[in-house]
């Protein structure tokens, strides 16, 4: 591959940041579990860096997965791909300085007006470093997705055709449907350009408010924009990464996984629903128009359908009695689809308004997204790393990799389920301290997390060995 160098840089940086952020995750759980003493300011700084770093790094690595497969079908700009990486690193440095040198701790959702009104816990400089850092990272990604959109339109004529709407309409035969990489690329382009514009807008609103507090904004509008950005951007990670599952499992099973009409309709549904359902983050804002909140529930349910009926089902079908050769990459790819599917369950349950009424902002929420991210999205990225190391570097896997594989499943599941149990016990999320009744699951998760980090380290080491061999 021509642009391997850059892809590798994306993945090494993404992988190492994910690993480091896991350490902060463990420290938080141990602190909540009573096994470690962290001052609340330190806890909330860790929480801010963990959320920001995880979403940023996973999105970075996922965009490399997408870029790798998409560039086999359309002509993408290498310069923009490189610019995004550089902007990411600049932004990351600003964020780190803001959080650790200037005590900034608004959580990665920087909900207006918290960046400015911190009860004097952090100052203007910390807020500006963090917000500008986020803005720079966002601009990098925005450039990247404008470029993927441009390239897809060039090749296909329009984004609608990238989603295969001409095939759905029957104007074109199913066999001429776009490749899965193009379909996913189009979906992600549409949702992320929208999300990043919403995000950049609200970040700039926060920046202006920080510089000149007399300048105020509507907090409800800010909340809508923040969740429109955060929900969509975080969700796009799995839609970028899943391309590797399509490509890998088709190769490993020697069965074709091409887009047909049902597949196309599923991806169009995902595109529209992903944009619509951010309001499920606002179910506890009764001042919102009621119809928007009902949409939040109804379409959150509907958004489960493409995964449950098409993607997960397709995974099961293609693997069933296929004589597949299991190795780390095919194993991780299959695992990731399992993780995505189970993670959908607690998400849908919590999107039910009457349930959300007693579970919103409890640890149930991190419960569902650690499952979906940790057993799903991130695992897809690891699958891609093993795949590259194998096809490009010819690197053999060892027993140790397999031990890491199974430990990862058990420990990541433990970390996710402990959050869910806490949520069912009404433990609030984002609390630096827990009452004794709440401590058990957190402590258990913190200990499981230590082994999880060891397993992840082995994954990353394998990939770094490949990268070093090559050069």
Partner 1 sequence: MVQTVAWITSLVFMLLITFIFLCVAMKSTEKRDYEPIKKKWYKARTFYGVTLVVFMLIITIYTLRELPYDQPVYGKGEDPTIVDVEALQFGWELSQSEFKVGEAIEFHVTSQDVNHGFGLYDEEMNIIAQTQAMPEYTNVVYLTFTEPGTYEVLCLEYCGLAHHAMTYQITVTN
Distance CA 60, CA 11 (A): 8
Distance CA 348, CA 365 (A): 11
Q: Is 431 in the site for partner 1 (CB under 8 A)?
A: yes
Site residues for partner 1, 235-294, by CB under 8 A, read 255, 282, 284-287, 290, 293-294
User: Which does residue 87 touch among partner 1, ligand HEM, none (CB within 5 to 8 A, set by kind)?
Assistant: none
Residue whose C-alpha is closest to residue 190's, from 112, 104, 290, 267: 267
Q: Are 380 and 244 in contact (CB under 8 A)?
A: yes
Q: Is 13 in the site for ligand HEM (CB under 6 A)?
A: no
Among 73, 82, 261, 430, the residue binding partner 1 under the rule CB under 8 A is 430
The residue (of 260 and 457) whose beta carbon lies closer to ligand HEM is 457
Q: Is 29 in the site for ligand HEM (CB under 6 A)?
A: yes
The residue (of 282 and 385) whose beta carbon lies closer to partner 1 is 282
The residue (of 93 and 317) whose beta carbon lies closer to partner 1 is 317
Q: Which residues neighbour 289 within 8 Å (Cβ) at sequence distance 6 or greater?
A: none
Q: How many residues bind ligand HEM (CB under 6 A)?
A: 26
User: Which does residue 357 touch among partner 1, ligand HEM, none (CB within 5 to 8 A, set by kind)?
Assistant: partner 1
The stretch near partner 1 (CB under 8 A) out of 87-95, 116-124, 236-244, 441-449 is 116-124
DSSP state of 214: T
Longest CA span, the chain: 67
Q: Is 374 in the site for ligand HEM (CB under 6 A)?
A: yes
Three-state DSSP class for 324? coil
Among 51, 304, 331, 423, the residue binding ligand HEM under the rule CB under 6 A is 51
Q: Which residues neighbour 319 within 8 Å (Cβ) at sequence distance 6 or greater?
A: 249, 253, 334
User: Which does residue 370 touch among ligand HEM, partner 1, none (CB within 5 to 8 A, set by kind)?
Assistant: ligand HEM
Q: Which two tokens stand for residue 353?
A: 């308004």
Q: Are 395 and 389 in contact (CB under 8 A)?
A: yes
Among 114, 124, 168, 275, the residue binding partner 1 under the rule CB under 8 A is 114
Distance CA 164, CA 20 (A): 40
Q: Is 357 in the site for partner 1 (CB under 8 A)?
A: yes
The stretch near ligand HEM (CB under 6 A) out of 50-58, 65-73, 258-266, 396-404 is 50-58
Q: Are 334 and 318 in contact (CB under 8 A)?
A: no
Q: Which two tokens stand for residue 400?
A: 């140790």
Q: Which residues neighbour 338 within 8 Å (Cβ) at sequence distance 6 or greater?
A: 375
Three-state DSSP class for 96? helix
User: Which does residue 373 touch among partner 1, ligand HEM, none (CB within 5 to 8 A, set by kind)?
Assistant: ligand HEM
Residue with tokens 């932004």: 91
CA-based torsion, 101, 103, 106, 112: positive or negative: negative
Q: Is 366 in the site for ligand HEM (CB under 6 A)?
A: yes
Pattern 45-84, partner 1, x by CB under 8 A:
----------------------------------------
Q: Are 236 and 128 in contact (CB under 8 A)?
A: no
User: Which does residue 2 touch among partner 1, ligand HEM, none (CB within 5 to 8 A, set by kind)?
Assistant: none
Q: How many residues bind partner 1 (CB under 8 A)?
A: 79
The stretch near partner 1 (CB under 8 A) out of 172-180, 202-210, 360-368, 383-391 is 360-368
Site residues for ligand HEM, 218-257, by CB under 6 A, read none
- What's the distance, Cα to Cα, between the start and end of the chain in Å? 14
The stretch near ligand HEM (CB under 6 A) out of 120-128, 199-207, 319-327, 370-378 is 370-378
User: Which does residue 468 touch among partner 1, ligand HEM, none (CB within 5 to 8 A, set by kind)?
Assistant: none
Element (H, E) at 345: helix 328-350
Distance CA 322, CA 317 (A): 9
Site residues for ligand HEM, 52-111, by CB under 6 A, read 54-55, 58, 107-108
Q: What angle, rounded to 10 degrees, do the helices at 399-424 and 328-350 form?
A: 0
Pattern 432-451, ligand HEM, x by CB under 6 A:
-----------------x--
Residue ranges that bind ligand HEM, judged by CB under 6 A: 22, 25-26, 28-29, 47, 50-51, 54-55, 58, 107-108, 363, 366, 370, 373-374, 378, 415, 429-431, 449, 452-453
């Amino acid at each position: 591959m021509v642009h391997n160098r850059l892809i590798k840089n994306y993945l090494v940086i993404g992988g190492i940041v994910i690993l480091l952020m896991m350490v902060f995750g463990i420290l938080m759980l141990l602190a909540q579990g009573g096994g470690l003493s962290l001052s609340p300011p330190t806890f909330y700084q860790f929480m801010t860096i963990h959320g920001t770093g995880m979403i940023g790094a996973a999105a970075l690595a996922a965009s490399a997965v997408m870029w790798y497969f998409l560039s086999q079908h359309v002509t993408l700009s290498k310069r923009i791909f490189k610019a995004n990486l550089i902007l990411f690193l600049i932004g990351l440095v600003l964020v780190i300085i803001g959080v650790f040198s200037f005590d900034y701790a608004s959580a990665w959702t920087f909900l207006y007006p918290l960046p400015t009104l911190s009860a004097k816990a952090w100052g203007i400089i910390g807020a500006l470093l963090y917000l500008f850092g986020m803005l720079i990272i966002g601009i990098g990604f925005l450039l990247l997705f404008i470029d993927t959109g441009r390239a897809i339109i060039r090749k296909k004529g329009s984004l609608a055709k990238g989603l295969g709407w001409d095939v759905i309409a029957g104007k074109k035969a199913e066999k001429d449907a776009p490749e899965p990489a193009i379909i996913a690329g189009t979906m992600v382009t549409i949702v992320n350009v929208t999300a990043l514009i919403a995000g950049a807008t609200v970040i700039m609103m926060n920046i202006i408010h920080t510089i000149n507090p007399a300048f105020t904004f509507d907090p409800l509008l800010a909340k809508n924009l923040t969740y429109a950005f955060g929900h969509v951007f975080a969700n796009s990670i799995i839609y970028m990464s899943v391309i590797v599952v399509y490509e890998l499992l088709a190769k490993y099973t020697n069965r074709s996984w091409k887009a047909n009409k049902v597949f196309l309709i599923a991806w169009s549904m995902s595109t529209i629903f992903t944009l619509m359902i951010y309001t499920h983050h606002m179910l506890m804002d009764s001042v919102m128009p009621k119809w928007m909140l009902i949409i939040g529930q109804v379409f959150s349910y509907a958004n489960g359908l493409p995964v449950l009926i098409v993607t997960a089902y397709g995974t099961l079908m293609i693997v069933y009695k296929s004589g597949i050769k299991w190795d780390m990459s095919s194993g991780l790819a299959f695992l990731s689809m399992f993780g995505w599917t189970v993670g959908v369950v607690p998400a849908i349950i919590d999107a039910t308004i009457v349930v959300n009424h007693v579970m919103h902002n409890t640890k149930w929420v991190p419960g569902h997204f650690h499952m979906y991210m940790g057993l799903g999205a991130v695992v897809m990225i690891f699958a891609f790393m093993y795949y590259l190391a194998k096809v490009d570097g010819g690197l053999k896997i060892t027993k140790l990799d397999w031990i890491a594989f199974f430990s990862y499943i058990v420990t990541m599941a433990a970390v996710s389920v402990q959050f869910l149990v806490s949520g069912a016990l009404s433990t609030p999320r984002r609390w630096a301290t827990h009452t004794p009744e709440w401590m058990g699951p957190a402590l258990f998760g913190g200990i499981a997390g230590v082994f999880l980090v060891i397993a992840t380290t082995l994954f990353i080491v394998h990939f770094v060995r490949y990268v070093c061999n090559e050069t």
